[in-house]
Amino acid sequence: MSALIEFEDLTLGYDRHPAVHHLTGAIARGSLTAVIGPNGAGKSTLLKGIVGAVRPIGGAIRLHGVEPKAIAHLPQVAEIDRRFPLSLYDFVAMGAWRRIGAFGGIGPAERARIGEALAAVGLEGFETRSIGTLSGGQMQRAMFARLVLQDAAVILLDEPFNAVDARTVADLLVLVHRWHGEGRTVVAVSHDMALVAEHFPETLLLAREPVAWGPTAEVVSDAHLARAQRMIEAFDTHAHVCARAS
């Protein structure tokens, strides 16, 4: 498979303090890849770098045949402000923004798509519920419904199975495998090694720096995981501040 997202000696960070160091490699078009690593390993930062929310300090991210705005990104549910008075229907409908624009109306065809997205995640009948009243599992289903509506060729998932019930995990994994079967490129951050080993053919293990990247059975080993943990524990939080790339 050809490279879709390519990293060239990539360093990403905040306030010029690096969170991901010297990553080189590529995510293949149509692949299903997990990104794993200890807390603070730079996993979420990498996804934000791909969509352009975090700029490289050094090196580069190259996208082949896809624009950053065309990539669907599911953030961690904690990043969603659920205090905003928004119905589930309106929250999911935001996934149609690229098609209809900021001021476009939702016509019959789009309403049908929204209904299909809600049905795909098992949330029919919840349309008028405020997102603030949803359980953790229901909220994650709602976020997946919005992804369904986006209909993107590249889907980035940040801890999509964290703190939700087993039934929700199983239902959402069905969608992930459907996307993969349709030839979409899916990248998911996860801390669940058993789930990664069972469902993701490719894995990138990060500890701010790449530790291992390749077939999951080779990457998810005790030796690699132990090395990643040691690297994080030894990391100097007062590391040298890098100059930002122009």
Express each pLDDT in 73-107 by its tens digit: 999 887 888 888 899 999 999 888 776 665 556 77
CATH class of segment(s) 1-66+154-162+183-246:
alpha beta
Distance CA 117, CA 90 (A): 13
Residues of the chain with CATH 3.40.50.300: 1-66+154-162+183-246
Predicted pLDDT of residue 45: 97
- Mean pLDDT value across residues 191-209: 97
Residue with the bigger pLDDT between 239 and 58: it is 58
pLDDT tens per residue across span 118-155: 999 999 999 999 999 999 999 999 999 999 999 999 99
What are the start-end ranges of the E strands in the chain?
3-14, 17-28, 32-36, 56-63, 71-74, 154-158, 185-189, 202-207, 209-215
Distance CA 13, CA 115 (A): 39
pLDDT tens per residue across span 44-57: 999 999 999 999 99
Distance CA 125, CA 101 (A): 26
Buried b (16+ CB within 10 A) or exposed e, 124-159: eebeebebeebeebbbbbbbbbbbbbbbbbbbbbbb
Q: How far is CA 185 from CA 165, 182, 220, in A?
A: 25, 9, 21
pTM for the predicted model, two decimal places? 0.90
Whether pLDDT at 241 is above 60: no
Pick from 27, 44, 33, 32: nearest CA to 158: 44
Whether pLDDT at 242 is above 50: no
If DSSP codes are grouped into helix, strand and coil, which group holds residue 12? Answer: strand
Predicted pLDDT of residue 104: 58
- Helical ranges in 94-135 per DSSP H: 97-100, 108-120
